[in-house]
Structure 1
Amino acid sequence: MHPAHSRDPWQCLDQLNRIGIALSRERDTPKLLETILTAAKSLLNADGGTLYRLDEEHRQLHFEVLRNDSLQLHRGGTSDAPIPFPPIPLYDTTGQPNNNMVVTYAVLNDTTVVIDDAYADQDFDFSGTRRFDQKTGYRSRSFLTVPMKNHEGRIIGVFQLINALDPETGQVRTFSSADRQLAESLASQAAITLTNHQLIAQLQSLFESLIELINTAIDHKSPYTGAHCQRVPILTMMIAEAARRSDRGRLKDFRPTPEELYEIKIAGLLHDCGKITTPVHVVDKATKLETLFDRIALVDTRFEVLKRDAEIALLTDKLAALERGDAAAIPALEQRFRQRLAELDSDREHLRHCNAGGEFMRPEAQERVRRIAAYRWIGADGQESDFLSEDEARNLCIAKGTLNPDERIVIEEHVALTLRMLNTLPWPNTLRNVPEYAGCHHEQLDGRGYHRGLSEAELPTPARIICLADVFEALTASDRPYKAGKSLSEVMNILGQMVRDHRIDPDLFDIFVRDGIWLDYARRHLRPEQIDEVDVSRIPGYVS
């Protein structure tokens, strides 16, 4: 490599262009910082160099990359070795500018600094350089320090080159004015590229913060779904990473890029955003009679009215018996009264049990609800009516869970709304599949999912991953108002049965079990009492 001052200008321009292309192609920030410093060293044939980034908030320079060819020294950047030096403050403890050091002076005064011989220089403090040289046996001589300014003219960093080398003799030389011009040109290109990286990172951070804002709103609206919005993306990425590594079955061809993995992550974060419009009393419906409040309290009051009426009837009958001189009839009347109270208490307990919901309600239990509903009672308005309204009886007879068909439609609508909401956004090409992935998290391989009833062929692997994560989290969640979190053995048995029924992806379930994802997640997010012994050899749909 020839020094800048002895090369053809067209060669320099060509090298700058090639460096610019290389910088623009680099997506990883540590690699970009490394490339900037390496390019500067190569362009000016410098033996060593350091790149710093400016921390405006704390008004200090952070070491990012340090390289020295003679010492075979490589710290920071893409190396595994951290830089052991603390940040350099731009101002001292009294608030005065730190103009004693070359790098801080260059930043504070927005200027390039060229030093021919550090040991002979009287303007800056090179005591740290001397200590470094004494420790390593090196001789730091010529320095070139160049600030990097973004498109707004703000300094975002600085690189410092040490010991320009003569290409023919290998001896240390001074940096020339041509070197300075080339370095400043490179610094401008590097600053633009680094700024673009920072802007992309800031936009990405803002984007994810907006997603968190939506999930926080859902969390505030319903604490029973907010944690779900946080946990599903975690489990989604655990499964996605394992699937990416798998060489079994259909997943051996699943090799998402980092950008595609990020797309899956965003879909996981947004999969339930449609719930922001779902009525709270439906989302949080803990009992069958719950609307804005649990109507079982009204039913309890009616039972008390029936008991009161039974007691009034008893007293009336006893008085009539005494008036006709039939005191012997009173014990039978009291026995009948006690039986009636016991019957009402039993009926009330039955309705309270039914109100709690469950996995399955027997037909005879539903029939008993309908018999109780036909009781007659007199309300505060003096009108006689059925003991349970048609709506109350219908809700109490819900066969599974706490939602009636109308409410289930409302709940399921959140998927359609999620898809509609996400389809309105101008997604970049790298995130174009987010609406599809997020909007499929309740679909099933057998085509019986909702809301579109997609077939197996229509369900992409990322959507299947979110499906599995969503089901597992929902089954294990212990913060739902309408059910307790199931034990691991129960959940794995249910999931295995879903595999047998062709509802969830068997290949994903295979790595979910085989890689122990279920147990890793459980140890981090489940209550200790939920983590019981699981015999994987007995899980339905899984072949160990």
Structure 2
Amino acid sequence: MTASSPMNRDLFWRLIEISTALSSERNTARLFEKILDAAQDITHADGGTLYLLKEKNGRLALEFEIMRNNSLSLTLGGTSGRPIPFAPLPLLRDDGTPNHNNIATHTALTKRMENIEDAYCAEHLDFSGTKAFDARTGYRSKSFLTVPLCNHEGEVIGVLQLVNAKNPQTRESIAFPQDIEPIVAALASSAAIALDNQILLQDTRDLLDAFIKVIAQAIDAKSSHTSAHCQRVPALTELIAEAACQAAEGPLQSFNLNENDWYELRVASWLHDCGKLATPDYLLDKSTKLHLLIDGVETVKTRFTALMAQVEAGYLRQMRDNPAQIPVLEELMREEIANLADDCQFIEKANKGGEFMSDEHKARVRQIAERCWKDHLGVEQPILTEQEVSFLCIDRGTLSFDERQKINDHMKVTIQMLESLPFPKNLQRVPEYAGGHHEKMDGTGFPKGLKRDQMSWPARMMAIADIFEALTASERPYKPPMKITQALGILQRMRDQNHIDPDLYQLFLTARVWEQYAKRFLKPEQLDVDSIDAYR
């Protein structure tokens, strides 16, 4: 076959066409299939196998990625969904010597193409596995063309093996012609480049994913009270996004995410709280109102104990000086000590925080603060400091306004951190998605005060996911884990107050996203919803 023959020209243009197709394919499984399709097409091979070289347990082995045989109508691996039931082929034997018996491992070790006219006559290689396959299937494996796939550094990354070249006219099995070898070698080179690029991209993505999850785990590790929050929010966000993609009507019926969009959303949801790395640990761990590095209520209780002892000592002195008044003084002493004990118990309860601190309770805290006790120097000190009074009068939860502002600053840090990263084009919306989960639809959220129409759907989804996870989490020390009825009631009020997106809330409710999440992550007793009608 001459260089200018029509067949060579056709193969040349076919090779260019195949190389272009391989370089543009982004799906790894489809890339495997295109490589094998092209090789079989050019060589008229009846079957073929693509192996990738991987390291497992410190040993290099060729793993089956896709296997095909036209005569047997057999397709395994790739996008078929059918696994290949063959063990990987190790490059080294158990004794550490190179495995040159198997044609695929021999090709990987030598980096040379092997063209076998008839496997049953090849005495230098072990085709026992091939013969066993033939015996089971009634097939006759004859000619083999096995080609190493080498990357730009000359390292073997895989092996392409073709079986039984077919005569285009008679369809009988023939040897692979030698003049096809340069064409197959060129195809293998193009395939190796495409495959190596795909492997490098996947390795980079795997590294980024691992790095992102390490950051999330570090944030969760800062506080046992928010542990797993950074892991559950991504799961819930994806459940909401899946429901949105499946919406057949309404504002979300045209919403859809492609493969890159899903990855972008996943990265953003894993990084949504990365700014908490800069948040002081004692704030993340503030389980009570007086908790700083330790719970200050213990100091307050000690003061009450000292004051009770001082009150008792004062009455005992009066009893010594006025024996006739002992019964009256004893009653007064018991009453005052009981009142002090009751005040101390009230302070302990107020310290735990909750959904609401009434004005009446705040007034009682201030009244108690007027009491004084004497320190070790005999100097009168207030039973509660001004800071303690301020903390104990916190309306909701355990954080003061200033502390909440420090917590809220994590969103500014999150956005600063993410906007400083050189995200590629397909991840450029990560800062917007991750940085918007504390915004409210009426513009009263933070850090930017965005309104609904200024936010993307994914950012609004993440806001609902963040709230619902926090409400139902079982690790928060200042509240028991909410049941679904209570959490949905709060989301409903937030919808009515224009704090969360109403369309996404409706989707969250009617698509029963809350139920899917609860079955995966919550305790069985939290799932207490009989009907969603009350929450529409």
TM-score tier (shorter): over 0.9
Q: Does 1:54 align with 2:53?
A: yes
The answer to which of 109-118 and 91-100 deviates more is 91-100
User: 1:373, 1:56 → 2: CA distance?
Assistant: 68
Aligned to 1:66: 67
Q: Would you say 1:521 and 2:517 are equivalent positions?
A: yes
**2:126, 2:162 → 1: CA distance?**
17
Task: Please identify runs of 4+ aligned residues in structure 1 that moved more than 6 A.
Answer: 2-6
Distance 2:366 2:75 in 1: 80
SS in 2 for 1:50: strand
- In structure 2, stretches of 5+ residues that fail to align are none
Amino acid of the structure 2 residue aligned with 1:47: D
Shift of 1:227: 0.9
State the SS of the aligned residue for 2:253. helix
CA drift at 1:6: 6.5
Equivalent residues in 2 for 1:273-292 (5 A)? 273-292=274-293
Instruction: State the alpha-carbon separation in 2 of the partners of residues 244 and 437 from structure 1.
Output: 17
**Residue aligning to 1:101:** 102
Report the TM-score when normalising by structure 1: 0.95
Aligned counterpart, 1:124 = 125
The corresponding residue for 1:136 is: 137
Encode CA deviations 1:182-220: one digit per residue, 9 max, x unaligned: 111111111111111111111111111111221222233
1:422 to 415, 418, 421: 418
Corresponding residue of 2:20: 21
Deviations 1:41-81 (A, max 9, x none): 11122221111111234322111111122222211112132
Residue aligned with 2:162, SS: strand
Distance 2:518 2:93 in 1: 50
Provide the rounded CA distance (Å) in 2 between the counterparts of 1:144 and 1:169. Answer: 20
User: How far apart are the structure 1 equivalents of 2:52 and 2:213?
Assistant: 29
| Contact 1:215–1:226 under 8 Å retained in 2 | no
CA contact (8 A) 2:69 2:75 kept: yes
Cα pair 2:264 2:430 within 8 Å, conserved = yes
Match among 467, 470, 477 for residue 481 of structure 1? 477
> Which range moves more in the overlay, 511-520 or 340-349?
511-520
Q: Is the 8 A contact 1:488 1:534 kept in 2?
A: no
CA contact under 8 A between 1:5 and 1:179: conserved in structure 2?
A: no
CA deviation after TM superposition for structure 1 residue 167, in Å: 2.6
Q: Within 5 A, what are the aligned runs for 1:255-294?
A: 255-294=256-295
Residue type of the alignment partner of 2:77: G
SS in 2 for 1:175: coil
Once the two structures are superposed, residues 356-390 of structure 1 have per-residue CA deviations (whole angstroms, 9 ceiling, x without a partner) of 11101111110011011111222223322322111
Range 133-142 or range 412-421, more displaced: 133-142
* Structure 1 residues 416 and 263: CA distance shift in structure 2, 3 A: same
Q: Which amino acid aligns with 2:39?
A: A
Tell me the residue number matched to 1:180.
181
- For the 8 Å contact 2:452–2:501, the answer to whether it is kept is no
Q: Which secondary structure state, in structure 2, belongs to the residue aligned with residue 276 of structure 1?
A: helix
Show the counterpart of 2:149. 148
Distance in 1 (CA, whole Å) between partners of 2:133 and 2:309 is: 95
Of 199-208 and 216-225, deviating more is: 216-225
Pair 1:138–1:315, CA change in 2 (3 A): closer
Task: Give the one of 444, 456, 462 matched to 1:460.
Answer: 456
- Counting only pairs closer than 5 Å after superposition, residues 135-214 of structure 1 correspond to structure 2 as 135-214=136-215
Offset, 1:515: 2.3
Q: Which amino acid aligns with 1:95?
A: G
Moved more, 389-398 or 313-322: 313-322
Following the alignment from structure 1 to structure 2, what is the Cα–Cα distance between the partners of residues 171 and 276? 68
Give, in angstroms, the shift of residue 511 of structure 1.
2.4
In 1: Cα distance, 2:278 partner to 2:122 partner = 69
Map of 2:92 onto structure 1: 91
CA distance in 1, matches of 2:2, 2:62: 29
Matched, 1:498 2:494: yes
Aligned-residue offset at 1:334: 1.4
